[in-house]
């Protein structure tokens, strides 16, 4: 145990030195990073802003549906943020967004609105008074809007999952590299408090050498009215419904895999090598509709041939030899879970969604028994990440247990200082590519599908930066 702790402390010191060296080299050669070479971490835990940062920035939101309006609300209350414009094809969504603006002190008509067509957002992007753009459209519009935003040289904040095909993942990376515009994937689950504590514990060597992790997106179709709309893949705007009809894949991997990729230094000294996926049959949406008072056996969705298997299980192997199980389980009746757990040579942790237990060899008092309750809480308190310690109060009211607060705070900090994002384009591509790779693996009888190296070899020298 002592050996691991010492080794890890040294490697963490080296990491910090290497990170600085890397940034210097990258700045000098232009390799690896686009325009911005400074990073939001560790600045996000400091009280003073970067000297070069703008004090005031103008943020636009494209796609002000449920999620977009929530992010609009969070951005509007960030110090030094002016909402510069909003855009949506749906007049009702615009109306609701205007209420959010009014609640935050904006006079009626003071924020320019872009609407009236699917490409109205392009007029918004022509404005030269917009610094950053949050994209929270339906999945089908993520890519066109994201690529145009980078081409317009606005700092991009892209909702998850981002890209949905291998080609789109490359397009995201290539456009970032060609334009030199930064993008942050707005993967709020990376800021999960427990996951950040585990990140800190890993970096301090508490778990020894990491070996295996689990994660997932486990929700339920039960109770959601969207499954009762007769499916028409040409017209439905409900992305989960449309893609359950069209594809059999892990449709939503980033909430699960984001924190795990940070734990395992993916794209920063480690990489995903390959995955294999398997899917159950597809039954539950039919069953849900058949048994629903507003559905019934004659409802078209009761017999619709959804492609999506009810549970998709994916196993990933990494270059360093870890394995990860990722579950996509978004339909059967069940409580919400992201299933995080981590196992290393020195112990095991299971978070909120599992047993909320920890066992550390040589430290846990009872041989082979979990520490739970108050004992577990002591670990979470001791290893609470500094960003959570500093911002706990503000994060509380921001939604999703506080993680949305950190996402938007860091996005705004990045826009102000044109800083390199804590969740970058390579993360976005590497995590989102699980969608098409899992689809191919399922279709071909669980074949291993190899991850493209979106960093083009830079993963070998990049140093971990999330939460550093």
Ligand X SMILES: NC(=O)c1ccc[n+]([C@@H]2O[C@H](COP(=O)([O-])OP(=O)(O)OC[C@H]3O[C@@H](n4cnc5c(N)ncnc54)[C@H](O)[C@@H]3O)[C@@H](O)[C@H]2O)c1
- Residues forming contacts to ligand X in the complex (CB under 6 A) are 62-68, 87-90, 93, 118, 121, 136-139, 141, 159-160, 188, 237, 400
Tokens of 258: 């984001």
CA angle 120, 238, 217 (to 5 degrees): 120
Give the Cα separation of 223 and 234 in Å (integer).
Answer: 24
Virtual torsion, Cα 83, 85, 87, 93, nearest 10 deg: 50
Q: Which is nearer to ligand X, 61 or 348 (CB)?
A: 61
What's the min distance (Å) between Cβ of 300 and ligand X?
A: 21
- Output the smallest distance, CB 85 to ligand X, in A: 12
Smaller CB separation from ligand X, 360 or 398: 398
| Burial track 165-190 (b if 16+ CB lie within 10 A, e otherwise) | ebebbebbbebbeebebbbbbbbbbb
- Cβ-closest position to ligand X: 65
Can you give the C-alpha Rg of the chain in angstroms? 22
Q: Which three-class secondary structure state does DSSP give residue 327?
A: strand
| 169, 172, 176, 181: CA torsion to nearest 10 | -140
CB closer to ligand X, 89 vs 332: 89
Q: Which is nearer to ligand X, 19 or 142 (CB)?
A: 142
Min separation Cβ 159 and ligand X, Å: 4
Between CA 220 and CA 332 the distance in angstroms is 5
Beta strand 312-318 with 272-279: parallel, antiparallel or unpaired?
A: antiparallel
Scanning the structure block, which residue is given the tokens 């359950």?
244
- Tokens linked to 115: 């609407």
Nearer to ligand X, 136 or 342 (CB): 136
Q: Which is nearer to ligand X, 242 or 385 (CB)?
A: 242
Place of tokens 């519009």: 141
In the complex, minimum distance from the CB of residue 121 to ligand X, in angstroms, rounded to a whole number: 5
Question: Least distance from C-beta 250 to ligand X, angstroms?
Answer: 14
Of the candidates 244, 386, 234, which has an alpha carbon nearest to the alpha carbon of residue 305?
244
Nearer Cβ to ligand X (22/217): 217
Q: Exposed/middle/buried for 89, CB within 10 Å: 0-12, 13-18, 19+? A: buried
The least CB distance from residue 194 to ligand X, in Å, is 16
Minimal distance, residue 374 CB to ligand X, in Å: 30
* Nearer residue to ligand X within complex by CB, 149 or 188: 188
Helix ranges (DSSP H) in 104-157: 121-125, 139-151
Strand blocks (E) in 159-295: 183-185, 210-218, 272-279
Minimum Å gap between C-beta 197 and ligand X is 20
Contact (CB, 8 A) for 112 and 84: yes
Residue number with CB closer to ligand X (120 or 209): 120
Whole-number minimum distance, CB 204 to ligand X, in Å?
A: 29
* Nearest Cα residue to 201 out of 370, 366, 382: 382
Contact yes or no for 259/458 (Cβ under 8 A): no
């Amino acid at each position: 145990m002592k050996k691991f702790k010492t080794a890890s402390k040294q490697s963490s010191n080296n990491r910090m030195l290497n990170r600085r060296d890397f940034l210097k080299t990258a700045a000098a050669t232009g390799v690896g990073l686009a325009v911005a070479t400074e990073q939001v971490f560790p600045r996000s835990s400091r009280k003073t802003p970067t000297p070069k940062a703008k004090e005031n920035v103008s943020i636009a939101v494209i796609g002000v549906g449920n999620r977009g309006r929530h992010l609009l609300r969070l951005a509007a209350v960030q110090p030094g943020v002016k909402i510069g414009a909003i855009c949506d094809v749906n007049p009702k969504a615009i109306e609701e967004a205007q209420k959010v603006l009014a609640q935050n002190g904006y006079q009626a008509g003071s924020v320019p609105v872009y609407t009236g067509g699917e490409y109205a957002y392009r007029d918004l992007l022509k404005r030269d008074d917009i610094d950053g753009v949050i994209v929270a459209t339906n999945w089908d519009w993520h890519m066109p809007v994201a690529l145009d935003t980078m081409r317009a040289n606005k700092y991009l904040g892209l909702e998850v999952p981002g890209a949905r095909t291998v080609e789109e993942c490359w397009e995201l990376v290539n456009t970032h590299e060609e334009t030199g515009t930064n993008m942050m994937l707005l993967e709020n689950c990376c800021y999960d408090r427990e996951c950040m504590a585990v990140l800190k514990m890993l970096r301090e060597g508490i778990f020894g050498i990491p070996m295996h992790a689990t994660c997932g997106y486990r929700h339920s179709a039960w109770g959601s009215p969207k499954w009762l709309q007769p499916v028409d893949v040409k017209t439905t705007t409900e992305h989960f419904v449309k893609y359950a009809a069209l594809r059999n894949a892990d449709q939503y991997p980033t909430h699960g895999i984001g924190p795990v990729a940070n734990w395992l230094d993916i794209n920063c000294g480690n990489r995903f090598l390959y995955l294999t996926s398997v899917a159950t049959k597809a039954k539950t949406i039919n069953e849900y509709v058949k048994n629903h008072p507003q559905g019934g056996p004659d409802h078209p969705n009761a017999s619709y041939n959804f492609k999506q298997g009810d549970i998709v299980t994916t196993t990933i192997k990494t270059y360093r030899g870890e394995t990860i199980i990722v579950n996509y389980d978004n339909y059967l009746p069940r409580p919400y879970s992201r299933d995080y757990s981590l196992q290393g040579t020195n112990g095991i942790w299971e978070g909120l969604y599992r047993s909320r237990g920890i066992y550390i060899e040589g430290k846990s008092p009872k041989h082979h028994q979990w520490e739970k309750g108050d004992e577990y809480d002591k670990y979470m308190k001791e290893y609470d990440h500094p960003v959570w310690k500093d911002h706990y109060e503000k994060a509380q009211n921001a939604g999703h247990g506080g993680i949305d607060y950190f996402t938007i705070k860091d996005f705004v900090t990045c826009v102000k200082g044109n800083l390199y994002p804590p969740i970058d384009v390579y993360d976005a591509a590497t995590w989102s590519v699980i969608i098409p790779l899992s689809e191919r693996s399922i279709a071909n009888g669980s074949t291993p599908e190899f991850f493209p190296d979106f960093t083009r070899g830079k993963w070998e020298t990049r140093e971990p930066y999330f939460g550093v």
